[in-house]
Structure 1
Amino acid sequence: MKVKYSHSEGNFPFAKGDYVTVVVRYLYVKGLEDELYYHGTVTEIDEQGFRCVLDDDKTKEEYFSFFDVENVIDGDRIPFFAGTTKRIKGKD
């Protein structure tokens, strides 16, 4: 599905049950301390956004509006420079 992210348009190829990395802030920040991304499992999708159960608190769901995030990528990836790199578990 084609969606409008905060800074661009892109695809959202994920479905319920997929493990994703939600990139809230990365490319447009000035310092490393401002980077923000989450890892979680998609539980619900609508035209404006999606819900995830996040790794850091599996007892609740978090809603993400497409317009509030920069991108959504596979859960085994993290943002790195202008692209992504393989995630090393336990390092982020």
Structure 2
Amino acid sequence: MKVKYSHGEGYFPFAKGDYVTVVVRYLHIKDLEEELYYHGTVTEIEEDGFWCVLDDKTKEEYFSFLDVENVIDGDRIPFFVGTTKRIKGKD
């Protein structure tokens, strides 16, 4: 499904149960301390966003498409202008 992210349009090819990385801030920051992304499992998809159980399993969080830069596979993390393979326990 095509969606409007905070800095442009993109596709959301994920379904319930998919493990994802939600990139809230990465490409459009000035300080590396402001990087922000989460890993979790999609539980519900709505027209304007989706619900995700985060890795710590303590809470489910709603992400509006307009509040995130992108959503990518959960085994990837943002890196420069693309992504790289995630090393477990390093992020």
TM-score, normalised on structure 2? 0.98
Deviation of 1:81 (Å)? 0.2
Q: Matched residue of 2:61: which SS?
A: strand
The equivalent of 1:72 in structure 2 is 71
Deviation of 1:59 (Å)? 2.6
- Structure 1 gap segments, 5+ residues each: none
Distance in 1, Cα, partners of 2:83 & 2:30: 18
1:46 aligns with 2:49: no
- Structure 2 gap segments, 5+ residues each: none
Deviation of 1:32 (Å)? 1.0
TM-score, normalised on structure 1? 0.97
1:1-92 correspondence to structure 2 within 5 Å? 1-56=1-56, 58-92=57-91
RMSD: 0.5
Deviation of 1:31 (Å)? 1.1
After TM superposition, the runs of 4+ consecutive aligned structure 1 residues lying more than 4 A away are none
Identity %: 88
Distance in 2, Cα, partners of 1:66 & 1:44: 13
Corresponding residue pairs, total? 91
